[in-house]
Amino acid sequence: MLAGLPRTAWIAISVVFAAAWFATLDVRKLQHPDEGRYAEIAREMVATGDWVTPRLDGLKYFEKPPLQYWVTAAAFSAFGIDEWTARLAPALATVLALLAIGYAGKRIASPTGGAYAALAFGGMLWPIGIAHIVTLDALLTAWLGAALAAFLIAQCGVENPRDERRWMLLAWAAVAGATLVKGPVAAAIPGGALALYSLTTRDFAVWKRLHLAAGLAVFLALSAPWFMAVSLENPEFARFFFIHEHLDRYLTSEHRRTGAIWYFVPLLLVGLIPWTGVFLSTAWRSWRDAPHTSAGFSWLRFCLAWIAFVFCFFSVSGSKLPSYILPLFPAAALLIAWQLERLPQPVLYKWTMVAAATAAVALVGMLLGYNAIAARLADARTPLSIYRQFEPWLIAALVVAIVGGVAALFAFARDSAAGRTVGIVIVTLATLFATQLAFVGDDVFRTTRSAADVVKALEGSTPPYDPSAPFYQVEMYDQTLPFYLRRTTTLVNYRDELALGLDAEPDRGIAKLTDWEARWRAAPQAYALMTPDTFDKLARTGVPLRVVVRDPRRVLVARQ
């Protein structure tokens, strides 16, 4: 028995969870920009055999280290190039983070606490959502979650110095893995969290148990070789990566991803769903009532310090994206699990009722006001008709959330360990099912966010598509186009994030529109993707453009 349920019940829960978790990976087409970008870099690694220098659309691309590209490229090599293999790395990484957090909860709290930590992490909106998008933050969070788990076990889940050393070295190795996903920020998070914990608790003795010399050796042995190899092959790498991509990104708004100081507040509240109420109402109690080891370490207080540091660190950054705070969720899951094990079931009943009522209010609001909101969001590039196609999926997702909440209420009404666990399982699965429904419905936006249909139309066009002919992207860049073409394109009068690659190898792009026009007119066969505005501008000047397919955002033309 675990948390009041037999082993067979946990096997069934795991099977249902895994099926719902992985079933939708290939339902949606990859979307611009992140999914297309990171999938294409991995595809080009497989195509070129160069796993040291990342390239995007044939151009050097040094914004991030290569570990996720390697994992995805390995998936492409093993299982083929597809949407599900492109999304496998974040989806699988989040499951591994769930297992690490669950095991840590078992070692530092109790077997029930470990089970609840896994359920809490796997059933929160932000981990679910970001796990099913091709971005780097899920794999980063998996490594940092593993580092957090190993660190906590080393500090309060072992009985002898030898085991402490092993777990601490494992924590250092995990930080190295995180560094190979996203760079120095991966080391800043655990280091900053530890500093904040020590300052707020006056527990400085923990620094003596970090095994610093051996840990740094492990960290450098695992993380440094790629940085050295890529720097030797590309002298421009170090300055761009460490200064432009990290220091400038954090201290300035150069990357145009700004946000108010409170930017992450609503994202945190939404991301913690369905356990937002439990977290907010018990955070102070977790600090106040936190147990300590004989050495004076408190894992609960460290988790709170971890959450606070991640939240504040990115809140003051000059560059903000919604996924940046994902690394705080493993610590939040441990904190929530500790409370789920201890809160009286009437309290859990109350917070579940609040969550279900919130979903019901959202459903009523959507039924009454969705059309008005959609009309405000719609424009010529994303027509109202697409938003209306998405509405039934959102309604279905909210209905599932409400039904799950009501079912959980019946479980929590039973004052037993089994009733408590069944209620938590229902809440977790309902949140997962609801989120996946919304993701499936999101594919209605594919015509505005993905080049998949554009490429499909090209491949079915007459005259037949010639893959050997030049392919240009004129004054725009659709990140998903090279992935679906299975080839690179040539950029025309466009730089943005590819400026470094174009400066390093200028022959791979065309800087001036007039130079492209000359090539276009001289080519017996060629293709180009452009915005409707660019198409209209070129058409007025008499450039020969045969339209292959057109949508509100793009026009694909041929020279034939």
Which pLDDT value is given to residue 253? Answer: 62
**Rounded CA separation 120/122 (Å):** 6
- Which pLDDT score, from 0 to 100, does residue 1 have? 83
pLDDT at residue number 255: 55
| Residue 349: predicted pLDDT | 94
Query: Closest Cα to residue 89, out of 65, 73, 71?
Result: 71
- Which residues have a Cβ under 8 Å from the Cβ of 54 and sit 6 or more positions away? 41, 45, 60, 61, 62, 64, 66, 69
pLDDT of residue 248: 74
Parse the chain into domains and list their residue ranges.
Answer: 1-26+352-450, 87-343, 452-559
Q: What pLDDT is attached to residue 254? A: 62
H or E stretch covering 491: strand 490-492
* pLDDT score at 128: 98
10, 122, 142, 297, 356 from 99: Cα distances, Å: 14, 10, 10, 23, 27
Q: Residue 157 gets which letter from DSSP?
A: S
pLDDT at 259: 82
Task: Phi first, then psi: give them for residue 282, nearest 5 degrees.
Answer: -120, 0
Digitized pLDDT (tens) for each residue of the chain, 560 residues in all: 898 999 999 999 999 999 999 999 999 999 999 999 999 999 999 999 999 999 999 999 999 999 999 999 999 999 999 999 999 999 999 999 999 999 999 999 999 999 999 999 999 999 999 999 999 999 999 999 999 999 999 999 788 999 999 999 999 999 999 999 999 999 999 999 999 999 999 999 999 999 999 999 999 999 999 999 999 999 999 999 998 887 777 776 665 667 889 999 999 999 999 999 999 999 998 898 888 887 889 999 999 999 999 999 999 988 899 999 999 999 999 999 999 999 999 999 999 999 999 999 999 999 999 999 999 999 988 999 999 999 999 999 999 999 999 999 999 998 899 999 999 999 999 999 999 999 999 999 999 999 999 999 999 998 999 999 999 999 999 999 999 999 999 999 999 999 999 999 999 999 999 999 999 999 999 999 999 999 999 999 999 999 999 998 999 999 97
